[in-house]
A and B are shown apart, each in its own frame.
Chain A
Amino acid sequence: MRNRNSRFVKKFGIFSQYILPISLVLVISISLTFTWLIWTNPAHFNKNANQNTTSAGPTELSARALTDIYSPTQIIHTDSKQNQKLLFDQKINVINEVVKDVKNWHFNKLKPLKKVTAKLYAETLNQKDTLILNYPDSIAGGMINDIFTQHLTIDSNVQFNRIVIPLGSQLDKIYLLNDDNFAIYEISVSESSRTQIMHIIKSVKTVIPVVEQLYHQHVLLTYPEAVSLKQYSYLQNKQSQHLFLTALFNNGTNGDFKTRKTLETTTYEEGNNRRVVFDNKTGAVDYQSFNGTKTSANLNNTLRQGFNDLLSIGVPLDNTRYFETNDAENSFVYRTYVEGFPIFNQTRYGTVKLSYENPGTEHATFSQYALQVPLPNNQPGIKLEATPTVIQQLATVGIGIDRVEDMQIGYEWQTDPSSDMVVNLRPVWYLEINNKWQRLDQWLQKEG
């Protein structure tokens, strides 16, 4: 044996002594690399969860994606003279077109700007030649990656409610702005192009003059001129209690739930864990689950959880958008949008309100009624007062602008007096004061 070995060594020289150890090191390092790759690839962890959803069958199917619900709701163009215009077009979905184009860009790095004053914040927001994509309330920075299919590393405390895209010739930066704390984040971009975006802006048919204005600690979108908006009618659809029950009680697998019916409400209880209360008159639904997944404190994850919960409730999500959260970020309101404006009065809260106030519980309020199909209607447009007029009216009843947290043009949901199948949507001013949204005339009456 020794003899053979020594001959072997002689033949290949000193080299052969190392072949074995070197290949051993190589093989070990390859196995380490694979281990690392497998551990860092999230697909391996999601595998089981995904298999569950595919086997769940058609009830889990949804026509809407996460990015539809967490899509910007307004797009504003600031021109070279700093005039701002709200862009809207029936024939082109302007926001979608812009987002589609920006998806082709490459986002390199996100960094927060330091020492941002209210003045600098307003300047960034109102700089000329920009596009502003607005959200009604702050969302998690991580959503940027979903919306624009990017792979930025984003800290979980980053939040924003505006995306500002400067359309200068360079176009190497975009900004995320957060009205809540006047934070600005700068994202360096490459492979950007503005030709397509400029083309989209030019082709937009309806432009409404607006101004993003800083009042005390709030930025409000103001309309310097009166606006005339169309009224809409929709066929409304009442989803059956049965449909929600199958969706909420795990497809009704055990089927043994207690039912209690009174004149006003019908209550279904499954053990001590789940309860649904239907209001027999208004169609309002109140759902509570006490063994929900524990939600994390991170807004990004909670928003995603919210989307999954929306899907599992089974409400139609056509044109439903994220609308707002409370200060504690454990309660979320989603509203249906019509032609770029939110609908109010569908329920007391919005289309759906999700709360995770106590750990491990899920509380959802929504309605059995939903918009189904738009109907042709020949009703005249409604003229809404310009913002300065609204502010004046408020002043006459003693409401100062500093008390107004937000103001928006919205559509009021009104069931048609002559047919309960039809919903009329009428544009009116809505104001949020003390965390409560009400029509302008309601505020004027109450205080007056």
Chain B
Amino acid sequence: MDFKRIQWIFLLIFVAIDVFLGLQWYQGIQFDTVDTVGSTSVLKEMQGDDISFKRPSDKVGEGFYIAGQDGPEFVAHTTALRGVSTTYNSDTRMLNVQLSDKKRFKLNFDHPQRTLDHFIRLPQNVINGNEYVYSEELSRMTRHQVVYVQVVPAGKVYDSSGELHFNIDDGYVSGYTQTYISQPKILREKTPTISEEKALTWLYQYNQIPNNTTILWTKLAYTKLLDVNNTTVYVPTWFVGLRTNNNEEVHVKRINAFTGTIIKDTPQKVNIVNELQEKEVFK
């Protein structure tokens, strides 16, 4: 009889131990899957700060350093354009194109690319128009503009030096501004970039993402890193579009996808007087 009671006590004690060990083990397993550089714990911390986002991918991407000229060379082709008046601003390196009244057309604002995709392809409408594609993210940032971005051999450029901005007046396309990167060239072999997950968590750790924010989109695209003499060097960059919950405005944060450093608004300008440049001059 006593032995039976002891057995019962043992049974209860061991059930308790099992539950405890089971929980320990389960947490260990959970931790194991979390383990990758602790990003997941940072993501949890972000959720705790009321930052909402879709689960980011931890896949690494790939990209190049790209060099190109964003100078006025492409403007020489304005003669091919029909029914427009153009002005070129050499400071901003921007071509401003006004459509004649006859040429203006109505735009469905929900799906502007349906009409504009056809429009840009014709050489009498846009210079090198077939090198641009519609960007939903950038178009949503301003109300009266539709943005197309330039495609270089390795991806899209999200930079003011390779974009088409269509101006909309009363639902009609009245004209556009164009910037163009000519002769994009690959400078170095394909190199891995940081993952979307790293980009997000790092931005957060650099205090670039305020509390109570919604992350609307993330995108890996090229941005201007520096100007060397007359050439511009572009680098793969993670763009993160975010909106604080008490404000309608969308902000874009950028992080260099090779080095993981925050990209400031103005790119570095470097002037190197050396044989590189001389060679280019004499060529």
Interface residues of A (CB under 8 A from B): 1, 20-21, 23-24, 27-28, 30-31, 34-35, 37-38, 41, 43-44, 46-47, 50-51, 53-54, 57-58, 61-63, 68, 88-93, 96, 232-233, 235, 316, 318-319, 338-340, 373-379, 416-419, 421-422
State in angstroms the CA–CA spacing of A379 and B282 once bound together: 12
Q: Which residues of B contact A35 (CB under 8 A)?
A: 21
B25 CB contact (under 8 Å) in A28, A37, A63, A89: A37
Q: Interface majority SS on A: helix, strand, loop or mixed?
A: mixed
Tell which of B4, B22, B258 touches A63, judged by Cβ atoms closer than 8 Å. Answer: B258
A375 engages B228 (CB within 8 Å): yes
The answer to whether B225 has its CB under 8 Å from any CB of chain A is yes
Chain A residues with CB below 8 A from B272, complex form: 375, 416, 419, 421-422
* C-alpha gap A27/B194 in the complex (Å): 47
Identify the 9 closest CB pairs spanning chains A and B, nearest first: A34-B21, A54-B38, A374-B187, A27-B14, A418-B274, A376-B67, A93-B190, A43-B32, A63-B260
Please give, as numbers and ranges, the residues of chain B lying within 8 Å of A57 by CB-CB distance: 205
* Chain B positions near chain A (C-beta within 8 angstroms): 1, 4, 7-8, 10-11, 14-15, 17-18, 21-22, 24-25, 28-29, 31-32, 35, 37-38, 41-42, 62, 64-65, 67, 153-154, 185-192, 194, 198, 202, 205-206, 225-226, 228, 231, 233, 235, 258-260, 270, 272-276, 279-280, 283
Contact B190 A30 (CB under 8 A): no
- Could you say which of B22, B194, B274 contacts A34, with CB atoms under 8 Å apart? B22
12 contacts between A and B (CB under 8 A): A24-B11, A37-B28, A61-B205, A63-B258, A90-B64, A90-B188, A93-B62, A93-B192, A340-B189, A378-B279, A379-B276, A421-B272
Q: Is the CB of A38 within 8 A of B191?
A: no
In the complex, how many angstroms separate the beta carbon of A92 from the nearest chain B beta carbon? 6
Whole-angstrom CA separation of A407 from B1 in the bound complex: 84
From the candidates B25, B202, B260, B283, name the one contacting A41 in the complex (CB within 8 A).
B25
Evaluate whether A31 and B273 lie within 8 angstroms (CB atoms) in the complex, with A43-B35, A50-B38 already known: no
Q: Are B11 and A27 in contact (CB under 8 A)?
A: yes
Task: Check A54–B41 contact: CB distance below 8 A.
Answer: yes
- Among A31, A38, A41, A316, the residue within 8 A (CB) of B259 is A316
B18 and A30 contact, CB distance less than 8 A: yes
Cα–Cα, bound, A339→B32 (Å):
36
Residues on B with C-beta less than 8 A from A96 are: 62, 190, 192
Asked if A375 and B276 make an inter-chain contact with CB atoms under 8 angstroms apart, the answer reads yes
Are A24 and B14 in contact (CB-based, < 8 A)? yes
| B276 adjacent to A233 (CB under 8 Å) | yes
User: Which B residues lie within 8 Å of A23 (CB)?
Assistant: 11
Assess whether B259 is in contact with A318, with CB atoms less than 8 Å apart: yes
Is there contact, CB below 8 Å, between A34 and B185?
no
- B residues near A51, Cβ cutoff 8 Å: 38
Q: Which residue of A lies closest to B67 (CB)?
A: A376
Across-interface contacts of A88 in B (CB, < 8 A): 189
Q: Which residue of B lies closest to A59 (CB)?
A: B205
Extra 13 A-B pairs, beta carbons < 8 Å, given A20-B11, A90-B188: A20-B4, A23-B11, A27-B15, A41-B29, A41-B32, A43-B35, A53-B38, A61-B202, A319-B191, A340-B189, A374-B187, A376-B67, A419-B274
**If A61-B202, A373-B233 touch, does A90 touch B18 (CB 8 Å cutoff)?**
no
Please indicate the chain B residues that have their CB under 8 angstroms from the CB of A1 in the complex: 1
Bound-state Cα–Cα, A378 to B278, Å: 10
Write the chain B residue with the least CB distance to A44: B28
Query: Are A63 and B194 in contact (CB-based, < 8 A)?
Result: yes
Q: Which one, A21, A43, A93, contacts B191 given CB within 8 A?
A: A93
A31, B67: Cβ atoms closer than 8 Å? no
C-alpha spacing A375/B235, complex, angstroms: 12
B191 touches A375 (CB 8 A): no
Among B8, B62, B226, the residue within 8 A (CB) of A373 is B226
- Chain B residue numbers with a CB within 8 Å of A31 are 14, 17-18, 21
Which residues of B lie under 8 Å from residue A63 when comparing CB positions?
Answer: 194, 198, 258-260
Which residues of the other chain, B, contact A90 by a CB distance below 8 angstroms? 64, 186, 188-190
Once the chains are docked, how many angstroms separate the CA of A46 from the CA of B28? 10
**Least Cβ distance of A149 to chain B in Å?**
12
Task: List the B side residues contacting A232 at CB < 8 Å.
Answer: 188
Which of A20, A91, A319, A417 contacts B186 (CB under 8 A)? A91
Closest residue of chain A to B17 (Cβ to Cβ) is A31
Task: Determine the residue in chain A with the shortest Cβ distance to B33.
Answer: A43
Which residues of chain A come closer than 8 Å to B283, judged between CB atoms? Answer: 378
Select from chain A the residue with minimum beta-carbon distance to B153. Answer: A91
Chain B contacts of A20 at CB under 8 A?
A: 4, 7-8, 11
Cα A21 to Cα B273 in complex, Å, equals 89
Taking CB atoms, residues of chain A closer than 8 Å to B225 are 373
Judging by beta carbons under 8 Å apart, are A422 and B274 in contact? Answer: yes
Give Cα distance in the complex from A196 to B50, angstroms. 44
B230: nearest chain-A partner, CB-CB: A376
- Residue pair B7, A24 in contact (C-beta under 8 Å): yes
- Rounded to whole Å, the gap between the CB of A397 and the closest CB of chain B is 32
**Within the assembled complex, what's the spacing in Å between the Cα atoms of A363 and B276?**
38
- Tell whether, in the assembled complex, residue B189 and residue A235 are in contact, meaning their CB atoms are under 8 Å apart: no
Chain A residues lying within 8 Å of B67, measured Cβ to Cβ, are 375-376
Measured in the bound complex, the distance between the Cα atoms of B283 and A374 in whole Å is 21
Residues of A within 8 A of B231 (CB): 375-376
- Selected contact of B7 from candidates A21, A92, A318, A417, CB within 8 Å: A21
Measured CB to CB, the closest approach of chain A to B270, in angstroms, equals 7
- The interface residues of chain A lying within 8 Å CB-to-CB of B260 are 61-63
Q: Do B11 and A47 touch (CB < 8 A)?
A: no
Q: Which residue of A is nearest B226, CB measured? A: A373
Compute how far the CA of A339 lies from the CA of B65 in the bound complex, rounded to whole angstroms: 13
A58-B24 contact, Cβ under 8 Å, with A41-B29, A319-B191, A421-B272: no
Chain A residue nearest in CB terms to B259? A63
In the complex formed, the residue of B with least CB distance to A30 is B18
B17 cross-chain contacts in A, Cβ below 8 A: 31
| A377 pairs with B35, CB closer than 8 A | no
Give chain B nearest CB distance to A421 CB in angstroms.
6
With A and B bound together, what is the CA distance between A58 and B38 in angstroms?
12
